[in-house]
Chains A and B, each alone.
Chain A
């Protein structure tokens, strides 16, 4: 069933063969999905997980034969409701690209290897939730969870499975696996030149066939070229040296779209742009009326227009793709008159220079975006102008690299504009929970904590949906963060590429490359 979904839209005869050259805008650190600091674009074509999110951000089976649910008996919650057991049935006949069989032992090994304190992993998410794993036979994996974890699918076994037969007893921090990962995916790494490129060749043992029985993948080879400069990337797309690149700057989209042989695909990624208030910062930002005035003053449509019209204005932090995105949250449509009224009522009167003052406290703040990220910098300019119109002064205080991250997590800002991109199964407590690791702004509301706790510990879809919808309502009442737009990723791709379906999740566009083909 899952195969059918994944391969739909490519019923016509496809040609086998050809090389696709992809441009990557960053320098790869490691090819181990668990330790890279980037999203694993290359890895997604090499390493497979038990499940994967599809183009609609729904989980479909990959190395498992079905997605475990309560309905199909794949998930069993303990009678006390405090733990659960997830059973995966593995796909028979799957081989690693070195020809060795893939079994339940590999799944168990993955958990043990990632959990190992000696392994310096970027993502150990989900390892602590598991108490033990049983492997009654080579094709069955029984995962015993310590808690009820509705987000089980977005971690660990979806990320990728590690091969036990080559990694057992090895030091995963320094093993050659980090340069040449071994996977069950459609491609295998044949050459990795640091700072230059990665060559992936067809995996001769790949398990998947198309509906007419042709062995996948269609492509012979994929080459990932590392091109850190976005102007150079555009040049390479134009000269035909690169045939696919994502994250094309909005300003370059019209130019590339008119280029013969290229087309632009819009990918509505699971991202939202937001303006955050720092509750540990200047006192006026803790005044709800001031925050509301900000919300009324910003014209989200103008922000979108400044970015070529590609971003979609949003009213809540849960992007519209999700069924539990609440359309009935308190809204703050563009209304500068109302914004001024709110500030007047709160006692902030325009001073001699037009900037509002109350008890000697001027409404003047710093606003931070990541320096060099042109879309955010453009949006920042619109926001500064919008707020000036209601008598609030914003001074750009942009930071780059680690200084930016440091400020983001420790709250070294007054106002902060940026975006998040999430998994198909986002955990919102990391952003808005009182103890959330990404909550640098110091927002805390016990009611929000309780709702998120409910949402993140129940498998009951109705209860979960209600908690998440209520959370959004509460968040928009408190307004710690103004959701501004959802920014799509623009992908430039050659007309010749068939079967290409963008993926909106953090599993990247390369999560299902086996059905891609080049038209002759």
Chain B
């Protein structure tokens, strides 16, 4: 892959992002209500106060003007102020990003480390007890609602056994690493569980397909040891379709896990998104959605790069 290809791809992202932003902006403003309705919910808010707010946030201007000024500000790194908290949007996001990176990042790594070997194991031991067990667990993982499993584990591990804290990111007044890890354990497991279930199925299917191909049979016929056939010949090719699936999930590392963050009172981007959504906090919503879109586009690029790394036959010009 050439450097010019990379530049071309990066430049190509710009119109895509602008298109995405236009759609997001439109959709958000088409939805009923506006940010000030939250205030109007309070019986003691006067119309005058609402008008002042509308003016202060520029909500009285026509939509195209609002959009243009938002795009301009966005590219200058000036993402405006949150209507809910009056804090700079950048600050709001930076406050939440570390928590999300930590949780989604660890869940991603854990899931990857478990799912790939599990899928390979399932494929190489096809139609044995091990395969059936892994298949059963995977389907459990795919079909079990995240919130239900989380509640059950909270009840068991926190209320009954007092082994782990049920929610939160740290014991107040205790910022130590072991304490953080204890709080991280449950939500990471829950978040990784769903991914493992899905990914390992893809890995298994892909591996089974590759194992049946001519070149694998040839390698076997030539007397290459089974282990070498599996890991050196088959695995590399089997990974390619899996990378696509995994890469799409990679974007969620930045955009947060809404349900898991809510259940575990984890102060991440997912919860910020829900709060902003409920309040139609346009500046924060747009920023979070744009970051999510950006992460998705970058993940796609990374997937393409990963293809090339895994399969030397793939060349991008």
Contacts and interface: CB of A to CB of B under 8 A. Distances in A.
B279 to A, nearest CB: 7
Interface string A195-224: 111010000000000000000000000010
Interface stretch (B192-200, B226-234, B261-269): B261-269
A37 B47 contact: no
Nearest to A193: B267
Contacts of B107: none
B158 A235 contact: yes
A345 interface: no
A199 to B, nearest CB: 6
B95 to A, nearest CB: 5
A437 interface: yes
A235 B155 CA distance: 7
A376 to B, nearest CB: 15
Provide the main secondary structure of the chain A interface.
Answer: loop
Contact of A232 (B46, B49, B166): B166
B105 interface: no
Which interface residue of A194, A235, A402 has the most chain B CB atoms within 10 A?
A402
A374 to B, nearest CB: 15
Nearest to A27: B275
A511 interface: no
B231 to A, nearest CB: 43
B80 interface: no
Given A124-B48, A196-B168, A437 B40 contact: yes
A235 B279 contact: no
Contacts of A453: none
A125 B40 contact: no
Nearest to B85: A29
A228 B85 contact: no
B154 A235 contact: yes
B182 interface: no
Contact of A420 (B32, B43, B277): B43
Contacts of A495: none
Given A223-B172, A241-B166, A431-B43, A35 B86 contact: yes
Nearest to B99: A195
A227 B169 CA distance: 11
Which interface residue of B31, B32, B170 has the most chain A CB atoms within 10 A?
B32
Interface in B136-173: 147, 151, 154-155, 158-159, 162, 165-170, 172-173
B85 A238 contact: no
B53 interface: yes
A155 interface: yes
Contacts of B46: 124-125, 128, 437
Given A121-B49, A241-B166, A232 B44 contact: no
B262 A228 contact: yes
Contacts of B275: 27, 29
A178 B31 contact: no
Interface string A36-58: 01000000000000000000000
Interface in A129-179: 155, 173-174, 178
B263 A437 contact: no
Interface stretch (A83-91, A404-412, A475-483): A404-412
A201 B84 CA distance: 26
28 contacts: A21-B172, A29-B275, A37-B38, A37-B279, A120-B56, A123-B45, A125-B46, A128-B46, A174-B81, A178-B85, A193-B267, A196-B267, A226-B267, A227-B167, A227-B265, A232-B263, A235-B154, A238-B159, A239-B159, A402-B31, A403-B33, A406-B33, A406-B34, A412-B32, A420-B43, A431-B43, A437-B43, A437-B46
A-B pairs, 7 with minimum CB distance: A195-B267, A402-B33, A406-B33, A125-B44, A405-B37, A401-B278, A29-B84
Interface of A: 21, 27, 29-30, 35, 37, 117-118, 120-125, 128, 155, 173-174, 178, 193-197, 199, 223, 225-229, 231-232, 235-236, 238-239, 241, 400-403, 405-409, 412, 420, 422-423, 427, 430-431, 437-438
Given A173-B81, A427-B43, 16 more contacts: A29-B84, A37-B38, A37-B42, A120-B57, A123-B42, A125-B44, A125-B46, A128-B48, A195-B268, A225-B168, A225-B265, A229-B263, A235-B159, A401-B278, A402-B280, A408-B41
